[in-house]
């Protein structure tokens, strides 16, 4: 088993030695930093090549949300932590229910703070975790694994597919080597890490960029953005309260005091406050307009939302 795993890892692009960093241990601090930075610059280009697949994944996620389903991430180690981070940032940013975007990491909550790498080799637990989260055909399940072969992630996606869920897989190894049965594979090929096998680096960066694109674009398609501003954010701290007032001011042209006044009347809902001001309507009417426009501010104020 050990020899087979070693041979399997040896075939992965992300486990190869990077020829440009062979003498990294001889470099000065500045030279090391410039080397890492030069490799990091390759990541956005690798992600760009995957946009057609990312687009398909977004459409699946939007369809799940519109039908009352969810997006669930399953990952291990760095990949799992990135999924949890992306999921945890959706409620304050887009005002979503925490149950709508869910991040699941092999090893559970403790694995967020202390490495439990053995958890990634437990496919039986992955299946239990999928079942425990009540995955159904309404949901989209996204596996995240730089290597593509992580047993926990493969098992989670396989189980989700058995339950009828749509499935996505994000890996930073070549598409030509991808052999898992999913609806959409996203494979930004970032090449060998500058530090051999340290997939928290380029691979992690690529995964983070893709996750940003998936949820941000899906939320925009659901009407949670007006122009280029967040209008469904939750006022969970003073910074977000002030950001909300500033968004209202920029969207409508009112001054600070008026923005604060209407935000209070709107019970802290930025989107409603904007519609109240721009359409000169009550909170009740603003909410009716927003609902009729499927959440889009432009539609609620009489503009074409598309």
Enzyme catalytic residues: 89, 120
CA 46 to chain centre: 17
The residues, ordered by sequence, that sit 6+ positions from 240 with a Cβ below 8 Å of its Cβ are 92, 233, 234
Task: Write b or e for each residue in 256-282: b if 16 or more Cβ atoms lie within 10 A of its Cβ, otherwise e.
Answer: eebbbebbeebebbbbbbbbbbbeebe
Question: Tokens representing 106?
Answer: 């092999």
DSSP letter at 160 equals H
The residues, ordered by sequence, that sit 6+ positions from 203 with a Cβ below 8 Å of its Cβ are 14, 78, 146, 172, 190, 193
Secondary structure element (H or E) that encloses residue 105, with its range: strand 101-105
Where do runs of H (alpha helix) occur along 108-193? Answer: 123-132, 151-162
């Amino acid at each position: 088993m050990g020899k087979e795993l070693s041979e399997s890892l040896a075939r992965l692009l992300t486990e190869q030695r990077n020829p440009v960093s062979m003498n990294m241990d001889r470099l000065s601090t500045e030279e090391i930093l410039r080397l890492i930075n030069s490799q990091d610059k390759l990541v956005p280009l690798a992600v760009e090549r995957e946009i057609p697949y990312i687009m398909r994944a977004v459409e699946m996620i939007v369809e799940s949300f519109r039908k009352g389903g969810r997006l669930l991430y399953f990952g291990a180690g760095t990949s799992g932590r990135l999924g949890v981070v992306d999921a945890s940032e959706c409620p304050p940013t887009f005002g979503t229910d925490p149950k709508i975007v869910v991040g699941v990491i092999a090893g559970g909550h403790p694995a967020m703070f202390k490495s439990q790498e053995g958890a990634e080799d437990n496919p039986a637990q992955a299946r239990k975790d999928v079942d425990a989260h009540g995955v159904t055909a309404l949901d989209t399940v996204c596996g995240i694994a730089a290597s593509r072969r992580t047993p926990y992630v493969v098992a989670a996606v396989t189980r989700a597919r058995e339950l009828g869920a749509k499935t996505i897989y994000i890996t930073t190894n070549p598409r030509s080597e991808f052999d898992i049965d999913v609806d959409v594979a996203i494979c930004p090929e970032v090449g060998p890490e500058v530090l051999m096998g340290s997939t928290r680096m380029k691979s992690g960066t690529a995964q983070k960029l893709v996750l940003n694109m998936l949820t941000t674009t899906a939320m925009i398609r659901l009407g949670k953005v007006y122009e280029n501003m967040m209008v469904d954010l939750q006022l969970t701290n003073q910074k977000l309260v002030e950001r909300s007032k500033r968004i209202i001011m920029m969207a409508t042209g009112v001054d600070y005091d008026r923005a604060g006044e209407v935000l209070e009347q709107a019970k802290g809902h930025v989107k409603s406050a904007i519609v109240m001001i721009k359409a000169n309507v009550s909170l009740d009417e603003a909410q009716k307009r927003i609902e009729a426009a499927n959440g889009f501010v432009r539609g609620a104020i009489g503009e074409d939302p598309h």
